[in-house]
């Protein structure tokens, strides 16, 4: 069983600053132990304040940017300058304002035909591979949760098996008005990570959060249940409205109220 903790914050702002603090701590530890920090980012609305905070001098100046490498959990198949690009979002909100070498950014090339983009991303992952794996053991993986229970681009009902999946997949799923063609890492990679942080905000996520955390195991219905890094930690940072369906008898030791 992976170590998993859930913290409830009164606001998205408080949750985002706590996420930045965790990120800074993880980066410091990784660089001290292994000389570099390998992080995975997601798209969506929830991480936007987190991204913005990273670019602020008080946080930016605490990070070893030259030793930091970014990958993406998933990407919509659009060019990097497209408004729906997950890489583009991170660039717009913080990457353009921090001293990170361009060569440290390992984006999924959404502008390429899907098969080529998949191959290219597999190659980029391989060039950082942990011995015995075809991808690195990531130090920090940022994930979101959709109101339907998806995470990255692992959607309910997707047809790969319960236990194992290719490390990188393509998917065609219409969610809200976002681009349907996507490329995504799967739990095969997430589950070798050292730390996974889910950021969840808003009452429309309340049902999915409660089912993912407290419901019976049904990863086909609730794909975020697939994320269980045996040798890593999972943090759930959620705001009060997203937490509103979590039952009151939730184990106290698992839940700290941040005020
Ligand atoms: C994507 C994201 C996706 C996201 C969730 C939550 O590319 O769509 O990576 O998995 O994390 O959809 O998105 P919100 O934060 O906007 O609710």
pLDDT tens string 180-210: 899 999 999 999 999 999 999 999 999 999 9
CA angle 221–235–46, rounded 5-degree value: 70
Contact 30, 40 (CB under 8 A): no
3-state secondary structure of 125: helix
* Mean pLDDT on 214-225: 93
pLDDT tens string 39-77: 999 999 999 999 999 999 999 999 999 999 999 999 999
* Residue 110 CA to ligand 1 centre (angstroms): 16
Report the residue among 12, 41, 44, 93 best suited for mutation to probe ligand 1: largest number of ligand atoms under 8 A from its CB.
Answer: 44
pTM: 0.94
pLDDT tens string 120-165: 999 999 999 999 999 999 999 999 999 999 999 999 998 765 556 7
Closest residue (by CA) to atom 14 of ligand 1? 44
List, in order, residues 6 or more apart from 259 with CB less than 8 Å away. 10
Ligand 1 atom nearest residue 152's Cα: 10
- As a whole number of angstroms, the distance between CA 103 and CA 121 comes to 14
């Amino acid at each position: 069983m992976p170590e998993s903790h859930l913290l409830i914050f009164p606001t998205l702002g408080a949750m985002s600053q706590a996420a930045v603090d965790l990120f800074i701590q993880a980066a410091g530890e990784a660089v001290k132990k292994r000389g570099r920090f390998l992080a995975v980012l997601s798209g969506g609305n929830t991480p936007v304040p987190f991204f913005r905070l990273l670019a602020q001098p008080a946080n930016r100046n605490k990070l070893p940017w030259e030793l930091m490498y970014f990958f993406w959990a998933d990407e919509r198949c659009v060019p990097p300058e497209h408004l729906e690009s997950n890489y583009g979002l991170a660039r717009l909100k913080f990457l353009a304002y921090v001293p990170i070498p361009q060569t440290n950014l390992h984006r999924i090339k959404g502008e390429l035909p899907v098969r080529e983009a998949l191959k290219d991303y597999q190659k980029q992952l391989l060039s950082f591979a942990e011995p015995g794996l075809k991808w690195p053991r990531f130090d920090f993986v940022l994930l979101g949760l959709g109101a339907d229970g998806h995470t990255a681009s692992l959607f309910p009902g997707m047809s790969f098996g319960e236990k194992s999946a290719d490390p990188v997949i393509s998917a065609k799923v219409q969610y809200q008005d976002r681009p349907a063609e996507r490329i995504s890492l799967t739990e095969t990679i997430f589950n070798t990570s050292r730390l996974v942080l889910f950021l969840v905000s808003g009452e429309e996520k309340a049902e999915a959060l409660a089912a993912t955390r407290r419901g019976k195991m049904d990863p086909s219905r609730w794909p975020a249940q697939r994320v269980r890094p045996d040798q890593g930690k999972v943090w759930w940072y959620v705001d009060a409205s997203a937490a509103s369906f979590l039952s009151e008898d939730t184990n106290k030791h698992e839940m700290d109220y941040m005020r």
